[in-house]
Amino acid sequence: MRSRAWVAWVFMLPTLLVMAVIVFVPLAQSVAFSFTDLTNRNQGTIFKPPSWQFVGLENYTNILTGGDPNFYPTLIWTVIWTVVNVFFHFTLGLILALTLNQRFRGRTTYRLLLMLPWAVPAYITAISWRFLFNGEYGLFNAVLGLVSDQRIAWLSEFPWYYVAPIIVNVWLGVPFMMVALLGGLQSIPAELYEAAQVDGASRTQRFWNITLPQLSSVSSTVILLGIIWTFNIFVVIYLVTGGGPGGRTDILVTYTYQAFTRGDYSMAAAYAVVVFVLLISFSAVYRRFTREA
């Protein structure tokens, strides 16, 4: 078998090369740039020599010690955003999966319909919801107008500017969780339930003692994926609130994007590295924790 290992490498080589070019090299370059003061003004062009230099950990100390006053509030909101979203993704996904696991008329139609949010491109969803939330002409205010005189500026008023993107993201993220959990549910052997029923377990007991533990490996994986994806989801925040009034709904990725577009490449790289380190450490801790349990 050992003599055939090189075949595996040959097959992997094209993918590895592409990934190196698209992922690994830019990643390494980003990390390298985060230790400099590179901006679009000193990067040097074909007409002007570069004048950036290495500054060591200066960008990181700037970020971590609050030299950039927006970093910590953005980080806190990003964490809250992630936790709330994944909580709703998982619970709603689980409820829908449990429902769809039963046999009833029209089940296939419901499954298809519930996949719709996943099928529609995220940016179209974001733009459509933004129009629904429109403060003057949106559907929600039209409905609200039937019962009250007050219009709500959903994307500019507290706490709605936090709630609106969460609603959109939950709408986007539930199908994935639902499908994954449905798959997990269907792989639970029916004998376990039958045995439990014979022993006189109630529905709730069956749920807590059979369903959830059997789903734990699927759950832990999708929750981790959900956390990483939600932490970094750019489209929803950017297209729904645009970072919200005064940058209040900016998450770390949209904040990094702003640093990039104003030409502060080294700071943007530093933010990106911070996000990367956060997520990698979290994943490592999470994995260890779920493996023990």
Partner 1 sequence: MQRMTQLATALGALAIVVGACGGGASPTPAPATTAPEGTPAPTEAVAYQGEITFWNTMRDFELVEVQKLVDAWTAEHPGITVKMDPVPFDGADVKYDQAATGKTAPDIFRADIGWTPTFADAGYLLDLTGKIDNVDDFLNTPLATNKWNGKLYGVPQVTDALGLQCNGKLLAAAGLSAPPTTWAQLVEKGKAVTDLAAQKYGFYMRGDSYWAQPFIWGWGGTLFEVDDQGLVTVTVDSPESEKGFNYLKDSILGTVAPASWDFASDYDNMNAGFKGGTTMCILQGPWQVADLLTGDAFKDDPNNLVIAPVPDGEAGLTGSPVGGHNYVVYALVADDSAKEAAVLSLLNYLSTAESQAALASSVGLLPTRTSAYEIDSVKSDPKIADWRAVLAKATNRSGVPGASNIYKPFTDNYQLFLKGDKTAAQALADMATAWETTVFQDRLAK
Of 15, 45, 53, 109, the residue at the interface with partner 1 (CB under 8 A) is 45
Q: Which residues contact 88 (CB under 8 A, 6 or more apart)?
A: 166, 170, 174
Q: Does 240 bind partner 1 (CB under 8 A)?
A: yes
3-class secondary-structure state, position 41: coil
Q: Does 177 bind partner 1 (CB under 8 A)?
A: no
CA–centroid distance for 240 within its chain: 15
**Closest CB to partner 1 among residues 81, 250:** 250
Cα 115 from Cα 216, distance rounded (Å): 23
For the CB of residue 138, give the shortest distance to partner 1 in the complex, in Å.
8
Q: Does 9 bind partner 1 (CB under 8 A)?
A: no
Of 19, 26, 48, 113, the residue at the interface with partner 1 (CB under 8 A) is 48
CA-wise closest residue to 251 among 75, 62, 68, 65: 75
Q: Does 270 bind partner 1 (CB under 8 A)?
A: no
Of 92, 101, 118, 157, the residue at the interface with partner 1 (CB under 8 A) is 157
Total residues interacting with partner 1, rule: CB under 8 A: 36
Cα 187 from Cα 14, distance rounded (Å): 35
Helices vs. strands in the chain: H and E counts, helices first:
14, 0
Residue 254, burial from CB neighbour count under 10 angstroms (0-12, 13-18, 19+): buried
CB neighbourhood size of 88 (10 A): 18
Q: Position 208: which residue type?
A: W
Q: Position 65: which residue type?
A: T
Binding mask 188-227 for partner 1 (x = CB under 8 A): ----------------------------------------
- Residue 127 near residue 120, CB atoms below 8 Å: no
Q: Does 245 bind partner 1 (CB under 8 A)?
A: yes
Q: Does 73 bind partner 1 (CB under 8 A)?
A: no
Of 5, 7, 102, 149, the residue at the interface with partner 1 (CB under 8 A) is 149
Q: Does 261 bind partner 1 (CB under 8 A)?
A: yes
Q: Does 263 bind partner 1 (CB under 8 A)?
A: yes
Q: Does 258 bind partner 1 (CB under 8 A)?
A: yes
For the CB of residue 94, give the shortest distance to partner 1 in the complex, in Å.
32
Binding site for partner 1 (CB under 8 A): 40-41, 43, 45-48, 130-131, 133-138, 149-151, 153-158, 240-242, 245-248, 258, 261-264
